[in-house]
Each structure stands twice: as C-alpha cells, then as structure tokens.
Amino acid sequence: MKKGSVSPLERFIVALNERPDSVEFEQTMALIDALYDFHPVAFRNGAVNNAAGQNNGSCKIFAFGIKQNLSASQTLACFGRFYREDVLCHPEGDDHQNIRQFMLHGWAGVQFDETPLIER
C-alpha cells in the first residue's frame, strides 16, 4: 500500500463511525472474506446456540468485531439492512435472533468454541 493511502479496512471503519447507515451486510462479508480465511465454528450468542456452519454471516461478523475491537453499535451496523430494516423497524419480530440477542447481551453474550477467522 502506498504511503498515505487508506486501506479498505480503514475506509470501512470510517464508514462504521461516520456513516453507519451506509454499511451493508454484503460489503461487510466481502471485506471479511478479503482479509481472513474463515473456518465455521460453533458459537453462543445470548440464548442462541449456533452449530458450526450455522449462521456463518453472524459468526464472521462477531469474530471480525472481536478482532477489530468494534463496539456493539459498530458491530450491529455491520449487519446492514438486516439490522436497520428487519430488526429495528420490527422490534416485535423473532427473525435474526443473533442480532436480537446481541442487542440484549452485547459482547458478554458472545462465545466461540474456536477462532473462526485467520488473517490472510
């Protein structure tokens, strides 16, 4: 990377901080896939137990959030419209349980059996 240029990760973090409503799930997945090798693992999130290979998007986002020391609000923004439209606009819903559980329990509720992301 050229001196003074901004990395894709740095641009993404700026977007999370300055324009969180502009971040989309697909953008988050593309960045994670570019930076890490992913290995599906089991994880717990509040009352939700996810088997290895189940809810891989949530697994990737939570592992990425831990690796990047993201706040709960930054991490929720990584889910894009699933968080903004499906969850926030429908608080009574029961879909997207990993997002809803994370809203309730934050980082204290997230536990991985193994490390799912390895830097490339």
Degrees to nearest 5, angle at CA 12 with 54 and 40 = 20
Q: Domain for residue 114, yes or no? A: yes
Q: Report how far residue 99's alpha carbon sits from residue 4's, in angstroms, rounded to the nearest whole number.
A: 36
Residue 3 located in a structural domain: no
2 lies in some domain:
no
Percent of the chain with pLDDT over 90: 94
Say whether pLDDT at 119 is over 60: yes
Tell whether 1 is covered by a domain: no
The CATH number linked to 18 is 3.20.160.10
Would the pLDDT of 4 be above 90? no
Q: Where are the beta strands (DSSP E) in 56-116?
A: 110-112
Give me the number of domains the chain comprises: 1
Residue 27 clears pLDDT 80, i.e. is over it: yes
The pLDDT of residue 45: 97
Domain assignment present for 66: yes
Residue 49 lies in a domain: yes
Residue 46 lies in a domain: yes
The torsion angle over the Cα atoms of residues 26, 20, 91 and 81, rounded to 10 degrees, is: -20
pLDDT of residue 1: 55
Residue 88 covered by a domain: yes
Question: Model-level pTM?
Answer: 0.94
Sequence-distant (6+) residues with CB within 8 A of 18 are none
Q: Which domain holds residue 67?
A: 8-119
